[in-house]
Chains A and B, each alone.
Chain A
Amino acid sequence: MALDSKQVLDTREFKVVGTRVLRPDGVDKVTGKARFGADITAPGMLVGLVLRSPHAHAKIKSIDTSAAEAMDGVHAVVTAADFPNIELDDFTADVRDNCLAGAKALYDGHAVAAVAASSNHIAKKALKAIKVDYEVLDHVTDVDEAIKPGAPVLHEGGGNESVPEGSSPNIMARYEFGHGDIEAGLKKADRVLERSYKTEATHQGYIEPHACLATMGPDGQADLWCCTQGHYMVRNTCAAILGLDQGQLRVTASEIGGGFGGKTTVFLEPVAMMLAKKSSRPVKMVMTRSEVLRATGPTASSSVDIRIGMTKDGRITAAAAELRYQGGAYAGSPVEFGAMSAFAPYDLENVQTIGWDVVTNRPKQAAYRAPGAPMAAFAVESAIDELAKGLGLDPLEVRLKNAAREGTVASYGPTYPAIGLEATLRTAKDHPHWTAPLGENQGRGVACGFWFNFGGDTCVSLNITPDGTVTVSEGNPDIGGSRASMSMMAAEELGIPYEKVRTIVADTGSLGQNEVTDGSRVTFAVGLATIEAARAAKREMCKRAAMVWGIEPEAVEWKDGAAHPAGPNAGTHPPMSLAEIAEIASNTGGPIAGHHEANPEGAGVSFATHMVDTEVDPETGAVKILRYTVFQDAGKAVHPDYVEGQFQGGAVQGIGWALNEEYIYGEDGVLQNAGFLDYRIPVASDLPMIDTVILEIPNPGHPYGVRGVGETSIVPPLAAIANSVSAASGVRMTDLPMSPPKVLKAIQDQ
């Protein structure tokens, strides 16, 4: 099913794009040769380790590093006091404080000091020799508790100008979106549902822990190797924190062992650089899994109140949501995206969302695949399902009746161009999954999801080699096959075979600024820049052919990998292939290349509908996923295998979020499940095959119609599964994860 289920709705003919070529990094990755963050060494390298706070909230009265510094084999110890005294913007200042705590340790696991030593053993001993004098403070880890009067305060006066006077000091920002009149709309409804929902924090769960290797000379030149979603971001952030020129710091991205948003910031890198500077030795740092769970990521936990009114025939008359997300110890939970995306799939006359950004004593949240959207969609899509069922209506029909279409004014402001939500719903309705029979204790659920997608600063350099092959340099770590996609788009545009193109991820010394690999932007934005770079090279090659033929460049056209004379005055020259033009480039003006730099607008929004069957064991409350189908608009699927892979991976992360994964804090504010045994992500035996249906409604903002596909797929699963569990068990689950004890209790309480 998944392998030949693509539905093509556009008519453009592609030769390379849309095929399932082999990825260029495949052999290295199946043979163990690929080098990830921790797979590199440097001569004279030291081991860097971090000392972390055992307290959820504590004033750091003093740190005595003298005993550690005196140990043989210890070459440097750093604390926040070693950061150069530089005025930073609020965002970067928070990143710095998160890398090494300043006045207070704000969560269990917060870094307070770091050492560099000649061996792992010595570094561990040195950490034990550091004496930190803490004054333990009261803490809070729950989002609703954090905004109650009298809750422990993390940052006095930390809220920005959007926060109304008199609000909890743990509220950092307030957001509001919408249009129309909610109360008037609700009056027109035949039924109004008011319901509250909660989701627990989940970690991105990439299998590769954070790792880096830093060198820094006394001349101010520095090199950094690290696993990151954006080495240009790493460069800029480290340069700002350490007071370096961006041009003097060269960052090379390793192969990256998963990120899902969690590697869009820095944790170790500035610390490793300070240790390298202080010790005058290369310093390698690698996190343990426990450190990853305690101190990086996760996403926000949420608490959401919904009010939706619906007529008897399923039209939504008004929809309102109030969202509270805690994003850990610093401002910046993804509640703004939650508030923008909550009702994005629907065409609504009256809609309002209010988002509150709350801080608690938890690790600083990092982006996680469609940050903020899954929790909002869980609440909204569960409420719509409950309303539809209560009115005896088909949940897909209700969604179709209210679906956003071309011309719909989105709840967050813009008017949509061509979008694919309706296509995903209609395809879902026609799919055999929708009418397949169900057994006892089994149920089916559906839900929709939305993500914005993004463009961002992008540079691509495309070079024609003397033998007529092509190299593409791009600045975005390849996290799921993008080198293959870029080579495919370059080959398509140049009219040459895929095998004649090789794409590399270039270091920060090789290209201009590149936004991180996030926002499902790479295939769209880097693809667009690759196509434009190829077009620039084609223009130059046409010029060279024109020179050889003695005609005007305008009388030359490029097709099928060669320059052809075109038009009435061009003459009858035989075509010159790319290789022929490359061979004589030296004599026609020198090497040939194309490049493109842009911040492209026009990233088409993306919609999906998910359908899932579950079986609920009434004896244990365990939920089994029986069947799962993803329907999503990809704009144009450049490499269908990897589009399917994104759909499947996102769905399964959503399954984990819905059923198992959660951050569990003890009364002491210490994370209780900082390991993969107790923080349980889905394993192969938990799952069926994940069927996919790729829809292709071309994005007008991309030359080939490409939309980002990576994030939307994690938005619908939470609600789709909750709706399925509700159908299977008769209980409506409003609190994630739907772990067996919770489901069992709900069944017993009904």
Chain B
Amino acid sequence: MSKIHVTTKINGDPTEFLCEPDETLLDVLRDRLGMTGSKEGCGTGDCGACSVTVNGRLVCSCLVLGAEADGVEVATIEGMADGDQLHPLQRKFIEHAALQCGICTPGILVAAKSLLETNPNPTEEETRYWLAGNLCRCTGYDKIIRAVMEAGKEMREAS
């Protein structure tokens, strides 16, 4: 099986890699590029821990082939902060204790960022439905929902 050459952009960085035809984008990120911020909780698109955006669209990177990244722009948790400036969502997650173990946190942050870009002023219900594809087993979601809504508020006030 010969490998596929892929040219892509990840968090703004021009990136090239070789991958197997059946290798997922998640495997490429984690095992070939050393970007282990995206997590594999299920490998079947059910838990959302591997959430990234491809050309701005929220996807489970375990359901995208590495080869499909050719010519697109991928954004992962590693690109969310601007240098040492945390994204408001990242700050609010820490301030609101919206994480316990933290394994689902990268995926939830990527998904929440996508929500606020799509809908800057979501209701609690909209937030809950948008994040329904991201499993968290520790928190019961209460503090996560509060943190996302607080971040949205701060971002609205800042803009």
B42 near A289: Cβ-Cβ < 8 Å? yes
How far apart sit A121 and B35, CA to CA, in the bound complex (Å)?
21
Return the chain B residue nearest A713 by Cβ: B140
List the B side residues contacting A641 at CB < 8 Å.
96-97, 143
CB of A30 within 8 A of CB of B42, answer no
Evaluate contact between A652 and B101: CB separation under 8 angstroms.
no
Q: Is B157 an interface residue (CB 8 A)?
A: no
| Residue ID in chain B nearest A22 by CB atoms | B94
Residues B94 and A257 in contact, CB atoms below 8 Å apart = no
**Contact yes or no, B103 A649, CB < 8 A:** no
Residue B37 at the A interface, CB < 8 A?
Answer: yes
Partner of B136, one of A38, A207, A260, A651: A207
> Which residues does chain B contribute within 8 Å of A481, judged by CB atoms?
97, 100
Question: C-beta contact mask, B83-105 vs A, less than 8 Å → 1, else 0?
Answer: 00010011001111101111111
Are the C-beta atoms of A677 and B46 separated by less than 8 Å? yes
Picked from B99, B106, B133, B143, the residue with its CB within 8 Å of the CB of A32 is: B106
Report which residue of A23, A209, A645 has the largest number of chain B beta carbons within 10 angstroms of its beta carbon.
A645
**Given contacts A684-B127, A685-B129, are A645 and B143 in contact (CB under 8 A)?**
yes
Total A-B residue contacts, Cβ distance less than 8 Å: 186
Chain A residues within an 8 Å CB radius of B135? 207, 676, 681, 683
In the bound complex, how far is the Cα of B47 from the Cα of A675, in angstroms?
Answer: 10
Does A36 lie at the interface of the complex (its beta carbon under 8 Å from any beta carbon of B)?
yes
Taking a contact as CB atoms under 8 Å apart, the answer to whether A687 and B94 are in contact is: no
CB of B81 within 8 A of chain A? yes
Query: Separation in Å of the A71 CB from the closest CB of chain B?
Result: 15
Chain A residues near B35 (CB-CB < 8 A) = 32
Q: Contact at B142–A642, with CB atoms within 8 Å?
A: no
A641 to B94, CA, bound (A): 11
Taking CB atoms, residues of chain A closer than 8 Å to B114 are: none
In angstroms, Cα B94 to Cα A184, docked, is 57
B102-116 vs A, CB cutoff 8 Å, 1 = contact: the mask equals: 111110010000000
A684 CA to B144 CA, complexed, in Å: 9
Contact between B101 and A32, CB atoms less than 8 A apart: no
B78 contacts across to A, CB distance below 8 A: 31-32
Mark A1-39 against chain B: 1 for CB-CB distance below 8 A, else 0: 011000000000000000010110111011111111011
CA distance A430 to B102 in the complex (A): 36
Partner of A479 from B30, B77, B90, B101 at Cβ < 8 Å: B101
Chain B, 19-61, CB within 8 A of any chain A CB: 20, 30, 35-44, 46-47, 49
Question: Is A690 a contact partner of B90 (Cβ separation < 8 A)?
Answer: no
**Nearest Cβ distance between residue B21 and chain A, in whole angstroms?**
11
Neighbour of B101 across the interface among A3, A27, A206, A681, CB < 8 A: A206
Q: How far is the CA of A541 from the CA of B104 in the complex (A)?
A: 43
Q: Contact check: which of B49, B94, B137, B146 meets A26 at CB < 8 Å? A: B94
Among A675-718, those with CB < 8 Å from B are 675-677, 681-687, 689-690
**Is residue B76 contacting chain A, with contact meaning CB distance below 8 A?**
yes
A32 engages B77 (CB within 8 Å): yes
Contact present for A683 and B44 (CB under 8 Å):
no
Interface of A is mostly: loop
A589 CA / B16 CA spacing, docked (Å): 58
Which of A31, A121, A260, A690 makes the CB contact (< 8 A) with B137?
Answer: A260
A492 interface hit (Cβ, 8 Å): no
| Shortest Cβ gap from A227 to chain B (Å) | 9
| B residues less than 8 Å from A686 (CB atoms) | 132
Say yes or no for B17: interface residue by CB 8 A criterion. no
Point out the residues of chain A lying under 8 angstroms from B134, CB to CB. Answer: 683-684
A207 to B138, alpha carbons, bound, how many Å? 9
A36 to B104, CA, bound (A): 11
When distances are taken between beta carbons in the complex, the residues of chain A under 8 Å from B138 are 258, 480, 645, 649
Say yes or no: A288 contacts B43, CB within 8 Å. yes
CB proximity of B95 to chain A, nearest CB, Å: 7
Is the CB–CB distance between B140 and A687 below 8 Å?
yes
Residues in A neighbouring B96, C-beta threshold 8 A: 641
Answer yes or no: A256 CB below 8 A from chain B CBs.
yes
Cα distance A259–B137 in the bound complex, in angstroms: 9
* Residues from chain A with Cβ under 8 Å of B43 in the complex: 288-289
Q: Nearest CB to that of B143 among chain A residues?
A: A645
B101-A208 in contact (CB<8A): yes
Contact B141 A29 (CB under 8 A): no
Chain A: which residue is nearest B145 at the CB level?
A684
Q: Are B99 and A648 in contact (CB under 8 A)?
A: no
* Docked CA distance A683–B137 (Å): 9
How many angstroms between the C-alpha atoms of A23 and B125 in the bound complex? 28
- A 494-531 to B, binary, CB cutoff 8 A, 1 in contact else 0: 00000000000000000000000000000000000000
Instruction: Decide: B128 and A687 in contact? CB cutoff 8 A.
Output: yes
* Contact between A642 and B140, CB atoms less than 8 A apart: no
- A289–B38 CA distance with the chains assembled, in angstroms: 16
Q: Are A642 and B97 in contact (CB under 8 A)?
A: yes
A480 vs B136: C-alpha distance when bound (angstroms): 13
Contact B142 A27 (CB under 8 A): no
Residues of A within 8 A of B94 (CB): 22-23, 26-27, 30
Contacts of A371 in B (CB 8 A): none
Distance in angstroms between the alpha carbons of A321 and B42 in the assembled complex: 39
Closest Cβ–Cβ distance, residue A328 to chain B (whole Å): 21
- Nearest chain A CB to B38's CB is how many angstroms away? 7
Bound Cα distance from A676 to B97, whole angstroms: 25
User: How far, in whole Å, are A44 and B114 apart by their CA atoms in the complex?
Assistant: 38
Closest B residue, CB atoms, query A257 = B103
| Any B CB within 8 A of the CB of A360 | no
Choose one: B46, B93, B99, B103; the contact of A208 (CB below 8 Å): B103
Chain A residues with CB under 8 Å of B69's CB are none
Set of chain A residues within 8 Å of B76, measured between Cβ atoms? 32
Q: Which of B30, B49, B137 contacts A681 (CB under 8 A)? A: B137
- B4 located at the interface, meaning its Cβ lies under 8 Å from any Cβ of chain A in the complex: no
Show 13 residue pairs from A and B whose CB-CB distance is below 8 angstroms, ordered by the A residue.
A20-B97, A30-B86, A32-B76, A38-B40, A206-B101, A207-B39, A257-B102, A648-B143, A675-B46, A676-B47, A681-B135, A682-B141, A684-B127
**Interface residues of B, Cβ cutoff 8 Å to A:** 1, 20, 30, 35-44, 46-47, 49, 76-78, 80-81, 86, 89-90, 93-97, 99-106, 109, 125, 127-129, 131-146
> Given contacts A30-B86, A31-B80, could you give 10 more A-B pairs where the C-beta distance is less than 8 Å?
A20-B97, A31-B90, A38-B36, A289-B42, A641-B96, A641-B143, A644-B142, A649-B137, A652-B139, A685-B125
- Top 5 closest pairs, chain A to chain B, by CB: A32-B37, A257-B103, A29-B102, A652-B140, A641-B97
